[in-house]
């Protein structure tokens, strides 16, 4: 077991894991609970939804790492500027590009160089001139304020150590009246400490989540409006995964505790009358 004490340790671990994932195909990633690790004895894809029927879907950009379909709920319009946080190989970006069309723009942001490289290769193959990928962290996005009509993200914020700062950045980058649609992992009840402190399950998005009440409270406290949970589903962690970290008695206790891991898709809006800075308001 690896105990992570600092945000930088978490970020380093996540970068290492997802650099490996970037070099693998979807089938390899889906065959393990943590993408770049082989912690399952059977093939499980315990969180990802099926993208294949969505317009703009590109198999080479789908690494099977999501926990929802945020683009399905994002209400993207023609001409919108869309930002995808933790864009990976570009899957959600290419689907968003189908929605925003030639008149819009899609920006993918990822902190892993290997993912950015793979995404740029994919966009070159697709010859899309209004999709770009930028290296950067969600807590400090490489984009100016008030630029995005829509922000999407798929199973990524749970990997960010400072979720409040990440959501503050989302607020900064959205245009007044803009909105986000984010699929993420949250917790209900208290997970066993052995799971919370496990690096592999953190990178696999299971132990990186925070309590659902806390998650929703941060969004509200930062000033977002019209907050809605568009979809929610339980993430059932198979026993053979849990057995790597818990004894058989501990697994039974966990299952009987009522605690659990959930995937939620949340939508919220930035205030329409929000000022751009201290002296000038957006129109």
pLDDT of residue 41: 34
pTM of the model: 0.82
pLDDT of residue 64: 72
User: CA 76 to CA 249: how far, in whole Å?
Assistant: 47
**pLDDT digit string (tens) for 217-264?**
999 999 999 999 999 988 877 787 788 888 899 889 888 888 888 889
From the list 229, 165, 248, 238, the residue with the least C-alpha distance to 201 is 238
Rg, Å, the chain Cα set: 18
User: CA 135 to CA 148: how far, in whole Å?
Assistant: 17
pLDDT of residue 183: 92
**pLDDT digit string (tens) for 162-187?**
999 999 999 999 999 999 999 998 88
Please tell me the class of the 7-267 domain: alpha beta
Q: Is the pLDDT of residue 4 over 50?
A: no
């Amino acid at each position: 077991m690896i105990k992570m004490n600092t945000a930088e340790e978490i970020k380093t671990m996540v970068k290492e894991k997802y650099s490996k994932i970037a070099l693998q195909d979807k089938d390899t990633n889906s065959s393990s609970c943590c993408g770049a690790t082989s912690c399952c004895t059977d093939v499980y894809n315990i969180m990802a939804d099926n993208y294949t029927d969505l317009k703009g879907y590109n198999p080479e950009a789908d690494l099977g790492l999501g926990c929802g379909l945020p683009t399905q709920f994002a209400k993207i319009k023609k001409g919108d500027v869309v930002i995808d946080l933790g864009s990976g190989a570009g899957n959600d970006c290419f689907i968003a590009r189908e929605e925003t069309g030639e008149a819009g723009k899609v920006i993918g942001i990822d902190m892993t160089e290997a993912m950015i490289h793979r995404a740029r290769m994919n966009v070159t193959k697709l010859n899309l001139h209004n999709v770009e990928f930028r290296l950067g962290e969600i807590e400090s996005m490489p984009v100016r304020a008030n630029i995005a009509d829509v922000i999407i993200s798929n199973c990524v914020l749970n990997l960010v150590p400072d979720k409040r700062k990440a959501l503050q950045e989302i607020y900064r980058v959205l245009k007044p009246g803009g909105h986000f649609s984010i699929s993420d992992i949250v917790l209900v009840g208290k997970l066993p400490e052995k799971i919370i402190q496990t690096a592999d399950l953190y990178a696999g998005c299971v132990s990186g989540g925070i309590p659902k009440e806390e998650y929703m409270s941060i969004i509200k406290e930062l000033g977002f409006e019209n907050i809605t949970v568009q979809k929610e589903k339980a993430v059932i962690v198979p026993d053979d995964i849990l057995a790597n970290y818990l004894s058989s008695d501990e697994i039974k206790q966990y299952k009987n505790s009522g605690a659990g891991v959930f995937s939620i898709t949340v939508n919220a809006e930035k205030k329409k009358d929000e000022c751009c800075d201290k002296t000038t308001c957006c129109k």
